[in-house]
Structure 1
Amino acid sequence: MSEAWRRLGEPRAGGVLLIGDHASAHVPDDIDLGIDAALLREHIAIDIGVAEVAELLVESGAVDAAILGGVSRLVVDCNRDEDAPGAVSVASDGHAIPGNALDHDGREARMARFFRPYHDHIAATIAAHRPAMILSLHSFTPSLASDPEQARPWHVGVLYNEDDRLAAPAIAALAGEGLTVGDQLPYSGKLLNATMNRHAEANFIPYVGIEMRQDLVGDAAGQRRFAGQLSRMCNKLALNLAG
């Protein structure tokens, strides 16, 4: 356990590892972001539903272990390259984050305290217990305040970059659940895939990025429903890998 990450379950060589970069809205007491506390309940601060769905997947045995980010993405966004401006963002979806206007030393301190320990723990876990598959779990808002006209009708998105071994089977499995599936939507894994590029693609470990629509996982019933759908998807992907 660390302030930079939280682990659920026990990693297993040849198992399934879940990674949730944005599963927490926690802001340490000694960090002042300079924002209304109500924003910490919004999508700019946390991927709503991810922690709860991850816990259910571990409890069900569909996933052996989950590594979840320990702080809000507004403190540090671990699904970015370390030198990317968005790793410590000064604005998100039209909201200024004045506490993130850091000098070099301040930014370096954030990276050393949160970003690097998080990724170091993932790397060490993979090195000690190489999984057969990694599930990257995120959620997306149905609408952006900065672009309210943008339609986001998908129930779930499937993201990937160069390694697309699990993409088509995942899309088929989720479509078979009756979900409207976005292939590389609402984002593209070709453009935003930093954690999976680093820990999955660089190690040639099959993976899939899943983006759940937040209004579908905002309560316990929706979280249970999505966990069941993702559990069945994981089982099908495991069979696909075994075949």
Structure 2
Amino acid sequence: MTEAYHFLPGTPDSGILVVVDHASRDVPDDIDLGIDPALIDRHIGWDIGAADLGQALCRRFGCPGLFGDVSRLVLDLHREEDSAALIPESSDGHAIPGNHALTDSERRGRIERFWRPYHGKLAELVAETRPALIAAVHSFTPRLETSVGPDRPWQVGILYNQDDRAARLAIAELRAVGIETGDNEPYSGKLLNATMNMHAEANGIPYLAIEVRNDLIRETAEIEHWVDTLERVIVHCRNKLAPERSFRT
């Protein structure tokens, strides 16, 4: 048992692995962040709707999925182990006092407790199943509290770093059906792409880093709509990029 993640089993014959880094708003009882607990429910605490969307995609494909089980305010699983933002001291204008004066031992303790088990399991899954495509599911808030600009207009964003094979296909597919799609928006995968850098790009595996605006995935019907949309896109990318393989779905 681990506090770091939960795993949904599935068939590797689908060729797909779903990954949701920010699936949980959980803060263990022995960790005091020093903030109003209501903040945990907001976008700074987790990716609202991403866990439900990721689980629905796993059911649709019958594929395996890995879901982070700790709030990113405790430790952000979508950061490198040595990142200064791994254990955030502030987020979207909110100070996180409980993270301000961690000792080296306390910091290492959180890494051993959450980061290493999660990324160790993901590395194991990638090696065992060798997916044709990894689908990383995130969500973003329509507007940052600290933003001085307009609301974010995109319904979905597709992010990438060096490997844009699947991203290019997905962006074209989504825009072709009238979905306002961000190309490395609302932020750039060239700056924030830690999990896919480590487990997809480092292994030469195509991936889709998918960001859905969180006001569009709060109800069951909305989730199902996006599953229908993303299923077509994911299958298109998988089949186009691995034409030599046959898949169960």
Task: State the TM-score, normalized to the length of structure 1.
Answer: 0.96
- Aligned partner of 1:4 in structure 2 is 4
Q: Please give the residue correspondences for 1:223-234 in structure 2 after superposition, counting only pairs within 5 Å.
A: 223-234=223-234
2:98 equivalent in structure 1: 99
3-state SS of the aligned residue for 1:173?
helix
Computed over aligned residues only, the root mean square deviation of the Cα atoms, in angstroms, reads 1.3
Residue 74 (structure 2) aligns with: 75
**Correspondence 1:83-232 to 2 at 5 A:** 83-101=82-100, 102-232=102-232
SS of 1:88's equivalent in the other structure is coil
Runs of 4+ in structure 1 off by over 2 angstroms are 148-151
Q: Deviations over 1:61-98 (max 9, x none)?
A: 2x611101010111100111111111000100000111
- Could you tell me how far apart the structure 2 residues matched to 1:145 and 1:114 are? 28
Conserved 8 A contact 2:48-2:214:
yes
Matches of 1:28 and 1:206, distance apart in 2: 34
The CA deviation string for residues 146-172 of structure 1, in whole angstroms up to 9 with x for no partner, is 114243100000001111111111112
- How far apart in 2 are the matches of 1:150 and 1:9? 41
Deviation at 1:11, TM superposition (A): 5.0
Question: Are the counterparts in 2 of residues 14 and 129 from structure 1 also a CA contact under 8 Å?
Answer: no
Q: Deviations over 1:1-49 (max 9, x none)?
A: 5210111232516610011110110111111111111111100001011
C-alpha separation between the residues in 2 aligned to 1:227 and 1:14?
16
Tell me the alpha carbon deviations over residues 175-203 of structure 1, each in whole angstroms, 9 at most, x when there is no partner: 23321000000011111001000000000
Alpha-carbon distance in structure 2 between the residues aligned to 1:14 and 1:198: 22
- Contact kept, 8 Å, 1:139 with 1:212, in 2: the verdict is yes
> What is the TM-score normalised by the length of structure 2?
0.93
Aligned counterparts of 1:81 and 1:31: Cα–Cα separation in 2? 21
The one-letter amino acid of 1:106's match is: E
Aligned equivalent of 2:42: 42
C-alpha contact 1:173 1:233 (8 A) present in aligned 2 = yes
Residue of structure 2 in register with 1:53 after alignment: 53
1:33 and 2:33 aligned: yes
Counterparts of 1:14-33 in structure 2 under 5 Å?
15-33=15-33
3-state DSSP class of the match of 2:7? Answer: strand
Report the more deviating stretch, 89-98 or 4-13. 4-13
Q: Which residue of the partner structure matches residue 237 of structure 2? A: 237
Is the Cα–Cα contact under 8 Å of residues 77 and 115 in structure 2 kept in the other structure?
A: yes
Alignment check: 8 A CA contact 1:43 1:140 kept: yes
Q: Secondary structure at the match of 2:85?
A: helix
Secondary structure of 2:107's aligned partner: helix
Equivalent residue number for residue 64 of structure 1: 63
Structure 2, gaps ≥5 residues long: 244-249
Q: Look up the equivalent residue of 1:3 and give its one-letter code.
A: E
Over 3 Å counting, the alpha-carbon distance change for 1:124 and 1:135 in structure 2 is: same
Name the CA distance, whole Å, in 1 between partners of 2:162 and 2:186.
18
Letter in 1 for 2:69: G
The question of whether the paired residues in 1 share the 8 Å contact of 2:132 and 2:242 is answered with no
